Every structure is written in C-alpha cells, then in structure tokens.
Homo-oligomer: A and B are copies of this chain.
Amino acid sequence: MKIAVLPGDGIGTEIVAEAVKVLNALDLTFEMESALVGGAAYEAHGHPLPESTLNLAKAADAVLFGAVGDWKYDKLDRPLRPEQAILGLRKNLGLFANFRPAICYEQLVGASSLKPELIAGLDILIIRELTGDIYFGQPRGRRVATDGHFPGAEEAFDTMRYSKPEIERIAHVAFQAARKRNKKVTSVDKANVLETFQFWKDVVTEVHAQYPDVELQHMYVDNAAMQLVKAPKAFDVVVTGNMFGDILSDEASMLTGSIGMLPSASLNSKNQGLYEPSHGSAPDIAGKGVANPLATILSAAMMLRFSLNQEAAAQRIEAAVQKVLAQGLRTPDIWSEGTTQVGTAQMGDAVVKAL
C-alpha cells in the first residue's frame, strides 16, 4: 500500500502529520513517501506541481493531501499559483469523482449557523464531477469581441462542456453511492439556460433507467442553493458538475458549522484517490499548532476504505474520532463552553489513544 504524502502549505504540514501519526498507529504496513506541493514546491522548485511530485502521486495507490495556497502567491502568473497543483493532480490522475460528505456531528450541532432542528443528524453526500466542465474546457483566453454587446472590445472567455461518457460515469457513481445510503439522488443542473446542463439532465435520466430502485430528482442550481439552506436534510446524494459542485459542496460544508471535521475523496476509475480535508490552508493560523486535524484524519479513513481496501481500519479511525468528540476534546474552531480545548498534536494523540 503506497501512499504519497503531500502536506502542501499553511496548516497542511501540521494536519497531515497527525493523520500520518494515526495511520502509523494501525497494525498495517504502508509505504509512505512525502513531497512538496503548492507554494512550498514553487519556493523550492519553481513550480507548484513538480514532475517528481506528480510522478510520486501517479505511482501511489493513494495521495494524502493537506492544503495549498497563500495570499502571497496571488500575484504570480496563474500557471505558477499553488491551486494549479491541485488542478494538475486531478487532471493527470483522472480523478473525476469527488466525494464531499456534509455531516453534522451530534456534539457539534451548536456550531452551525442553522437552527439545531434543521441541522441535527444531517448526512448528505455531494458528488462533484472533477475533471470536466468549465474548469478544463478549451478554448479559453482573451481576445477582441466580434459580436455580443460590445463588438471590438477586449473580452475574456471560457468554455463549459461535458461529453456523454463523462456524465455517464459520474451518474453511475452517484446511483451506486445512493444504493448504499437512502436511495435518493438529486441531480443539479441549469437546464433552463445551459446546453451543457440540458444534456447533463438528459444523460443522467438515461443512466437512471439502470437504477429503478433509486429515486432521481432534478433541481436547478439556484434552487439547490436555496433548498440547502431551507431543508438540508431533504437531500441524500447530490450529483452535479465541477463548477456547481464547487459552490454547493462548500455551502453544504459550512451549513454544518464544522468544516474542520469534513473529509473528501477524489477518485479515478482505478480507485486511485486523492484524500484531503474540505477546508483550506488557513495561512492565518499556520504554525500555531491550533488547526483541527480531524478532517485530514477522517480523509485518511476514506483513503483506507476507497483506495486501500481496509474497511475495518477505516471504521476504527472513524470510531476513534467519535470517541474523542464524546470525551469533549475540541480544537479552537469547534470549541464551545463546557468542552476541553486542545491543540493539533494533542488531538492527533487523543485519536491514536482512542483507536
């Protein structure tokens, strides 16, 4: 079991260290190798995703990823910015299926912006297509407009696109995931405006014929953004494109109030995967030892489940996280009156002890 460990920038190094600690405490043997990525790789090698890092990731069964990015790289040319590393990994490894659970832990209901009755027990799974859409569509760039409102003016443009097999494979992933859950899929589109998403809706409907036991609902993206606020528990599995998925998965995470707890997985067709917390690199608290490592530790659990075929070990980690929450241990982001505040390393140690 080969794991490429890519801590990245900001709090990335601190939180990944705790996840590695937890993995090492299992009675399993891993081959782990670390490499620089993002701003850290740019500083050392002049590129956010050096060949050597990409090759390490390609050769591994799974990538354990921290986070990338810092305001200080905002002025760099786009191809050199830290987030290009994550886009490059997705593209080069073909990681088309992104799993973003939005779960509200019983003990953390109070941290949500939402009223407790709306959020308690929330357990939805957002499946975001991750290698297509307007993220990678060509052509894109700047040019002089030849039509539109201001012909002759300078304009910038991008191409949104989805091919049939791209939609089919993510639809299968969603229906299969729903079968293991509450058997309901909400496909989010903008078919009333976009050709791409009318096609998306048509193809998802077609694939659905193979899953008569799963309920399929179609919803416009603007309505989905509203329904997530109004009645998040009405969702089970949500499947959508790369751009809408970016927005809705972040909205859903924040609804739980504890984004510091939420893992993610990005898989290709061979079940190779990249595992990372749903939150970012948080440069403002980097190096202070206060970041919450639980999202990364839970991402390691997803890695064991999806890419390394170690379901039992995944469950051990998840149970251990539940246990430390029950013990009242909290990093500052999820702390509330009556609970015990701990730092990043203490939290990792507590999970190891609870295994």
* Residues of chain A whose beta carbon lies under 8 Å from any beta carbon of chain B: 78, 81, 83, 87, 94, 113-115, 118, 131-132, 134-138, 140-142, 145, 147-150, 153-166, 190, 192-196, 198-200, 221-223, 225-230, 243-244, 246-251, 253-255, 259
CB neighbours (8 Å) of A131 from chain B are 149
What is the CA–CA distance of A145 and B196 in the complex, to the nearest angstrom?
Answer: 13
In the complex, the count of this chain's copies comes to 2
Task: Select the residue from A87, A161, A253 with max chain B CB neighbours within 10 A.
Answer: A161
Do residues A165 and B153 form an inter-chain contact, with CB atoms below 8 A?
yes
A247 to chain B: closest residue by CB:
B225
Do residues B230 and A250 form an inter-chain contact, with CB atoms below 8 A?
no
Do residues A134 and B163 form an inter-chain contact, with CB atoms below 8 A?
no
Contact of A251 among B114, B149, B229 (CB under 8 A): B229
What is the CA–CA distance of A37 and B70 in the complex, to the nearest angstrom?
Answer: 50
Do residues A149 and B135 form an inter-chain contact, with CB atoms below 8 A?
no
Do residues A141 and B195 form an inter-chain contact, with CB atoms below 8 A?
yes
Task: Select the residue from A87, A131, A142, A150 with max chain B CB neighbours within 10 A.
Answer: A150
A69 to chain B: closest residue by CB:
B192
CB neighbours (8 Å) of A248 from chain B are 225
- Shortest A296–chain B CB gap in Å is 19
Knowing A113-B115, A193-B87, A194-B134, the reply to whether A160 touches B163 (Cβ < 8 A) is: no
Do residues B137 and A149 form an inter-chain contact, with CB atoms below 8 A?
no
Knowing A150-B165, A199-B142, the reply to whether A134 touches B160 (Cβ < 8 A) is: yes
What is the CA–CA distance of A208 and B55 in the complex, to the nearest angstrom?
Answer: 44
CB neighbours (8 Å) of A251 from chain B are 225-226, 228-229, 251
What is the CA–CA distance of A94 and B254 in the complex, to the nearest angstrom?
Answer: 36
What is the CA–CA distance of A244 and B244 in the complex, to the nearest angstrom?
Answer: 9
Knowing A157-B159, A157-B195, the reply to whether A230 touches B246 (Cβ < 8 A) is: no
What is the CA–CA distance of A160 and B243 in the complex, to the nearest angstrom?
Answer: 12
A227 to chain B: closest residue by CB:
B254
CB neighbours (8 Å) of A192 from chain B are 78, 81, 83
The list of the 5 closest CB pairs from A to B, nearest first, reads A156-B199, A155-B163, A226-B254, A157-B161, A225-B251
- Shortest A111–chain B CB gap in Å is 11
Knowing A114-B114, A221-B246, the reply to whether A162 touches B155 (Cβ < 8 A) is: yes
Do residues B148 and A161 form an inter-chain contact, with CB atoms below 8 A?
yes
What is the CA–CA distance of A251 and B254 in the complex, to the nearest angstrom?
Answer: 13
CB neighbours (8 Å) of A249 from chain B are 222
What is the CA–CA distance of A70 and B196 in the complex, to the nearest angstrom?
Answer: 22
What is the CA–CA distance of A78 and B194 in the complex, to the nearest angstrom?
Answer: 10
What is the CA–CA distance of A277 and B240 in the complex, to the nearest angstrom?
Answer: 28
Contact of A163 among B78, B132, B145 (CB under 8 A): B145
Do residues B162 and A160 form an inter-chain contact, with CB atoms below 8 A?
no
A131 to chain B: closest residue by CB:
B149
What is the CA–CA distance of A246 and B220 in the complex, to the nearest angstrom?
Answer: 10
CB neighbours (8 Å) of A229 from chain B are 113, 229, 251, 254-255
